[in-house]
Amino acid sequence: MVMHKQATVGAGRLLMPDLDYPLIIAAVALLGLGLVMVASASLHRINDAPFYYMNRHLIAIALGLVGCLIVTQIPVAYWERSGALLYFVGLFLLILVLIPGVGREANGATRWIPLGPFNLQSSEFMKLFMVIYIAGYLVRRQLEVALSVWGFIKPMLLLVIACSLIMVQPDFGTTTVILATAMGMLFLGGVPLWQFAILIGLAGTSLAGLVLLSPYRLQRVTAFLDPWADVENSGYQLAQALIAFGRGEWFGVGLGSGIQKQFYLPEAHTDFLMAVIGEEFGLLGTLVVVALFAVIVWRAFRTGMRAEQLNQRFAAYVAYGLGLWIGMQAFINMGVNVGLLPTKGLTLPLMSYGGNSIIVAMLVVAMLVRIDYELRRPVSAVVRGAQ
């Protein structure tokens, strides 16, 4: 089944396929702005190769486009049948990255599997696989989830296994996003409020314990509370990001004219890209980015509600989960940049430099487009395409 342009009769005009264009336009706008800002933030980093990061970012976008074309051709029913398999594939990749000699270490973390010139970050793909698996579980076990504690505990056990492997890498930020997304999906799937409250308490206690037992995480939290207390050490990143936003004021200093990205602000092209946007485009540019992410989350939840009305519950839960994931990760990244949250090491979806992050975020958009596309078609056509 191919998504293609449809010709009109008589008028000789071509109609665009019936797709979710607000979602597509918002995603393309974020990708384009992200490419420009990655270039702006990284041109000075390698003197003899100023376009190194931008070129790699372009390659990631190209690979993401190929992935999008593939995903938009796959019926949603296929993902529903493959949920358990995808979970175990993700689990295998998480274990593989921890095997000595297989996983690649950088900055004290072992998160990547070298594949020639490309490094596979298994935790990024596990986010997507977990959303698909939990959506399928909620469909298969709806009554059990709503009426039985065990029905609620079973997916949480699998979630804990995956998150534990991610924490060994270590990757606290990704663990937080996966847990929050899964809990949101379970709540929308009918988990009783008292069970959800207990889960929130247990998750909060566990995350607090991880912070207290790890000196570097505790240092991040204390630095977030008062970055100016140790501005030359633990509070350096946040202090420089706040200075960048301050310099930007209302309309920014202009594209390419930012100072903080020039070795004052660490990871300017990845985790702190939003601070560069704030400095060069000011409050106005920051609000535009927030609005574009809001459009993506809105369209995801709108798609989910339409799927629920049509009794397409798997599609609904996937759309809700993907919307929660993108919205939550964007919120956490922005919160870190402006000092609302401790440093997590999370990229800004669709924008920050990072091949795996860009590719997976584009696949998320493609899945939302595919779900919306199927919802607009007659039920008989969807069933035929899934066979």
The whole-angstrom separation of Cα 27 and Cα 31 is 6
| Helices and strands in the chain, H and E counts | 15, 5
Candidate from 57-66, 226-235, 288-297, 307-316 with smallest mean pLDDT: 226-235
CA dihedral 292, 276, 51, 293 (to 10 degrees): -10
Question: Does residue 179 surpass a pLDDT of 80?
Answer: yes
The whole-angstrom separation of Cα 342 and Cα 329 is 13
- At residue 8, the pLDDT reads 44
Q: In 141-171, which ranges are continuous DSSP H helix?
A: 142-147, 149-168
Question: Does residue 357 surpass a pLDDT of 80?
Answer: yes
Segment 289-312 mean pLDDT: 95
Segment 245-261 mean pLDDT: 87
Segment 56-77 mean pLDDT: 94
The whole-angstrom separation of Cα 298 and Cα 92 is 33
